């Protein structure tokens, strides 16, 4: 039996949607020959992965992403995998799928969907959520937003060396000078990623490395700037086909995700509470001071509607605000033709 067959059997026997993490745990018990393989041990030694668990999980992500045998539901976190019905399995797919994953180095194929258009072009998509989950196993905390930016860019490159990954690229949309944190290009598809890293004071140690985070106060400004990123990414996505934007906010400050009853707050329209929706015209409250609004006076008109769903990123073993969560918003073109979800 090959590892790909073991993955398929676990999903088939589950008879329900199942997460990659559940598949990993079952394989460790029922198919132990695929856990701690020599190639995985070598990959861990080379620091490609943080642990053998990480290496096995990566191979599961890789296989289910490139194979046409499964349905992936990205509406839940972590996403779930199941077997399609006969009708749903009738897409034109890549026939040249790797069958033996036991020799793979473990990188997640985050940019290749394995599905082709009728014209024979590969449909490309980015599983940014999967990348973040892998990154969290190695980098559960960052010194700064720039540290987060470089680590995420490197993780994208490591998982797909064929992708062109650049930092601080001027998008040049409508004559504006607007630099995007990360721009990923592969084939005809382009992905712009904007990041926000908002810290609350914390002293932590991870793998003998010390982290001393300072308070990033001014949460109203942090919320405004995140939504401003969303509006900028809407312009990016609308400018050309095959463009997707991702807005990511990572924080250990629970004030960003907690629900508030203070509807009169100066940033009431910019709140990012769990399960809320961002849409329409958003503006500062009447009592907002000029200092807060300086450089941020413009209202933010969102074309789309975005559901805020906070996901777990990491939990550090230390005192203080040690839980990190993130919001990930996918911004796509307003036109009907879209890349797959």
Give the pLDDT score at 105.
33
Reported as a single tens digit per residue, the pLDDT across 231-267 is: 999 999 888 878 899 999 999 999 999 887 665 578 8
**Considering 109, 125, 153, which residue would you say is the last residue of a domain?**
109
Our count of domains for the chain comes to: 2
In a domain, 119, yes or no: no
Q: Can you give the residue range of the structural domain that contains 236?
A: 137-332
Q: Exposure pattern of 86-122 as b/e (b: 16+ CB <10 Å)? A: eeeeeeebeeeeeeebbebbbbbbbbbbbbeeeeeeb
pTM recorded for the entire structure:
0.65
Give the pLDDT score at 79.
84
Q: Which of the residues in the chain have pLDDT under 50?
A: 86-123, 336-341
| Chain mean pLDDT for the chain | 81
In a domain, 31, yes or no: yes
Cα of 250 vs its chain's centroid, Å: 11
**Domain identity same for 68 and 14:** yes
Alpha-carbon gap, residue 236 to 229, rounded angstroms:
10
**Domain identity same for 143 and 70:** no
Closest CA to 81 of 91, 94, 69, 97: 69
In a domain, 222, yes or no: yes
Alpha-carbon gap, residue 70 to 68, rounded angstroms:
6
H-run or E-run covering 249: strand 243-251
DSSP string, 263-309: TTSTTGGG---TT-EEEEEE---TT--HHHHTT--S-EEEEEEEE--
């Amino acid at each position: 039996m090959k590892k790909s067959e073991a993955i398929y059997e676990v999903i088939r026997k589950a008879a329900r949607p199942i997460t990659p993490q559940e598949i990993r745990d079952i394989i460790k018990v029922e198919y132990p020959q695929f856990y701690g393989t020599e190639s995985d041990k070598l990959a861990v030694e080379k620091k490609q992965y943080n642990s053998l668990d990480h290496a096995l999980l990566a191979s599961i992500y890789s296989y289910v992403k490139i194979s046409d045998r499964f349905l992936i539901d990205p509406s839940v976190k972590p996403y779930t995998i199941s077997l399609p019905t006969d009708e749903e399995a009738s897409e034109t797919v890549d026939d040249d799928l790797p069958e033996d994953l036991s020799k793979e180095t473990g990188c997640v194929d985050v940019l290749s969907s394995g599905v082709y258009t009728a014209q024979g072009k590969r449909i490309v998509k980015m599983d940014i959520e999967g990348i973040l989950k892998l990154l969290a196993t190695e980098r559960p905390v960052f010194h700064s937003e720039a540290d987060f930016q470089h680590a995420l860019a490197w993780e994208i490159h490591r998982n797909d060396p064929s992708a062109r990954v650049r930092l601080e690229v001027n998008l040049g949309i409508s004559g504006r000078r607007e630099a995007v944190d990360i721009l990923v290009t592969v084939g005809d598809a382009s992905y712009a990623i904007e990041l926000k890293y908002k810290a609350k004071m914390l002293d932590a140690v991870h793998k003998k490395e010390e982290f001393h985070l300072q308070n990033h106060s001014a949460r109203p400004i942090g919320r405004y700037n995140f939504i401003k990123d969303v509006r900028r990414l809407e312009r990016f996505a609308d400018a050309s086909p095959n463009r997707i934007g991702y807005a990511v906010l990572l924080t250990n400050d629970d004030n960003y995700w907690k629900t508030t009853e203070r509807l009169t707050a100066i940033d009431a329209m910019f709140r990012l509470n769990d399960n809320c929706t961002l849409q329409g015209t958003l503006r500062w409250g009447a009592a907002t001071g000029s200092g807060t609004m300086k450089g941020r006076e413009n209202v933010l008109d969102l074309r789309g509607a975005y559901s805020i769903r906070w996901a777990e990123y990491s939990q550090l073993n230390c005192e203080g605000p040690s839980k990190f969560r993130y919001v990930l918003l996918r911004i796509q073109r307003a036109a009907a033709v879209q890349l797959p979800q």
